[in-house]
């Protein structure tokens, strides 16, 4: 038996009464907060802000954290917040993370707190909507901060609350998001031992958790391929080198990287060309074409192999047709990786928070998260929490990043319970002060 498992078993036997009381206290406090959670979430939903522009959002969140007596630092990674809660007993440093930014999406759902906000995005006026649930993440973490602050004398260790801007990606060439937070040292002073994060999902039933050990969400790379040909009259293609024709061959051949070159039993690979621009007139063969797209992988070695293959395919196909291809690849996120031992240790805590029947393992997904950058500094556990109304079909849930995105906010308290249970259980296990019994409530 592993040492950590022996310690857990010993503590479960020695402190069952305390464990049950702790879980009951968390449940009572989180349930009582549910009306506030809805109020916070709906306010934030109605007042969304884009990446690196979350100024009013940060003011709203910071005011609440300061009212709890936490040490609050603002302006982190431009508009982010780090708040610190020091427990009444010695123990580990645990970080909890919520993202803050919204998206340039026009809301189509008819709800009383519908967003009508517009903002500037790269020189264009765009509609703004919380189309990925970040408003819910903030509300749950604000609630967790309130519950944990009310129980600080019993808490072993320190909790750092990360309210992170620009998860969807900073605009243009700006820095931002989790990479900038890590660069600015949020994982230090005091040094973080573990990071937990939730993401609400529109297709998971409300009140449920889903998780996966190991690789969970894909890395995200953005690539650009510039194809240089030779301009000519549209009636005389033999006098030029058509970059549009060359580009279509490149697009087609890129898919053979997935279907014929990648070992898909190790992990999925997705290559998508989402933008193709070339030419100004229908009877002119242009000089250049520009392709832009994204790469998704769930294995770091496969990620690098895919980069190499894209460069080879683009340059080789172009060369064979008399053109030149220039390839650039920019990594936006890493593979979101859940430490397997940490997951095994903490799943019982989720079961205590939501009920054993409401916690289940799932497959990985090709969406990405910049939460992955926290993994470079400490073990992490990132998982999904449900926002689909009961009685509705999973297959019909509106996708994230769309005008019809919708979540049921009637059980945000489950997220608060999950955060608090993870904090107390991890802290008590690592400090030797005790651990709750997740099998009893």
Rg of the chain's alpha carbons, rounded to an integer?
Answer: 24
8 A C-beta contact, residue 441 and residue 351: no
DSSP string, 381-413: EEEEEEEEPTTS-GGGSPPTTSTT-----TTHH
Domain boundary among 286, 316, 333: 333
Residues 346, 325, single domain; the answer is: no
pTM: 0.91
E-assigned strands of 100-155?
A: 118-121, 124-127
H or E, element range at 195: strand 194-205
Residues 199, 279, single domain; the answer is: no
Residues 28, 167, single domain; the answer is: yes
The total of structural domains in the chain comes to 2
Residues 191, 237, single domain; the answer is: no
Within a domain: 414: yes
**pLDDT, tens only, 80-115:** 999 999 999 999 999 999 999 999 999 999 999 999
Residues 209, 311, single domain; the answer is: no
Domain boundary among 301, 333, 365: 333
Within a domain: 437: no
Pairwise CA distance, residues 349 & 328, whole Å: 44
Q: At what angle do helices 16-46 and 412-431 cross, to 10 degrees?
A: 140
Residues 358, 401, single domain; the answer is: yes
Residues 312, 346, single domain; the answer is: no
Residues 329, 343, single domain; the answer is: no
Comparison of pLDDT for 417 and 16, the residue scoring more: 417
CATH code of the domain in which 291 resides: 3.30.70.360
Within a domain: 441: no
Residue 75's domain spans which residues?
A: 3-213+339-431
> What mean pLDDT comes out for the span 367-382?
98
- Residue 432 confidence class, pLDDT cut points 50, 70, 90: confident
The distance in angstroms from the start CA to the end CA of the chain is: 26
What does the chain come to in residues? Answer: 441
Residues 355, 321, single domain; the answer is: no
Residues 249, 300, single domain; the answer is: yes
CATH code of the domain in which 374 resides: 3.40.630.10
What number of other Cβ atoms are within 10 A of residue 16's Cβ? 15
Domain boundary among 304, 333, 362: 333
Pairwise CA distance, residues 199 & 138, whole Å: 10
**pLDDT, tens only, 198-214:** 999 999 999 999 999 99
Strand partners, 226: 290, 326
Query: Would you state the structure tokens that stand for residue 156, as one six-digit string?
Result: 């072993």
Residues 199, 242, single domain; the answer is: no
8 A C-beta contact, residue 134 and residue 201: no
H or E, element range at 38: helix 16-46
Question: Which positions are annotated as active-site residues?
Answer: 101, 167
Within a domain: 190: yes
> What mean pLDDT comes out for the span 421-435?
83
């Amino acid at each position: 038996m592993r040492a950590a498992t022996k310690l857990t078993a010993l503590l479960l036997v020695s402190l069952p009464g305390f464990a049950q009381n702790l879980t009951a206290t968390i449940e009572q406090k989180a349930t009582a907060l549910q009306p506030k959670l809805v109020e916070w979430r709906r306010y934030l939903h109605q007042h969304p802000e884009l990446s690196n522009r979350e100024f009013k959002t940060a003011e709203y969140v910071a005011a609440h954290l300061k009212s709890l007596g936490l040490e609050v630092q603002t302006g982190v990674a431009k508009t982010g917040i780090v708040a610190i809660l020091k427990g009444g007993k010695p123990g580990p440093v645990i970080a909890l993370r919520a993202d803050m930014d919204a998206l340039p999406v026009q809301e189509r759902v008819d709800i009383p707190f519908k967003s009508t906000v517009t903002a500037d995005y790269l020189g264009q006026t765009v509609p703004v909507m919380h189309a990925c649930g970040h408003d819910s993440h903030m509300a749950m973490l604000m609630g967790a901060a309130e519950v944990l602050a009310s129980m600080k004398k019993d808490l072993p260790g320190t909790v750092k609350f990360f309210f992170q801007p620009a998860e969807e990606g900073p605009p243009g060439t700006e820095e931002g998001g989790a990479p900038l937070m890590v660069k600015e040292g949020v994982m230090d002073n005091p040094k973080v031992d573990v990071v937990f994060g939730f993401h609400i999902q529109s297709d998971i039933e409300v009140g449920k958790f889903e998780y996966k050990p190991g690789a969970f969400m894909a890395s995200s790379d953005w690539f650009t391929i510039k194809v240089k040909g030779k301009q000519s009259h549209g009636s005389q293609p033999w006098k030029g080198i058509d970059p549009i024709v060359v580009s279509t061959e490149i697009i087609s051949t890129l898919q053979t990287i997935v279907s014929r070159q990648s070992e898909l039993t190790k992990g999925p690979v997705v290559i998508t060309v989402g933008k193709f621009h070339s030419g100004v007139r229908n009877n002119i063969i242009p000089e250049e074409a520009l392709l832009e797209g994204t790469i998704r992988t769930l294995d770091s070695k496969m990620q690098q192999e895919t980069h190499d293959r894209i460069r080879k395919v683009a340059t080789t196909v172009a060369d064979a047709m008399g053109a030149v291809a220039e390839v650039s690849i920019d990594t936006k996120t890493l593979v979101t990786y859940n430490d397997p031992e940490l997951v095994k240790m903490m799943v019982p805590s989720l079961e205590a928070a939501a009920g054993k029947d409401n916690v289940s393992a799932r497959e990985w997904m090709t969406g990405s998260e910049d939460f992955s950058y926290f993994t470079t500094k400490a073990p992490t556990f990132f998982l999904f929490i449900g926002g689909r109304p009961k009685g509705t079909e999973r297959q019909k849930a509106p996708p994230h990043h769309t005008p019809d995105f919708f979540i049921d906010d009637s059980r945000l308290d489950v997220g608060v319970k999950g955060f608090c249970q993870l904090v107390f259980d991890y802290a008590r296990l690592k400090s030797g002060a005790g651990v709750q019994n997740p099998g009893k409530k």
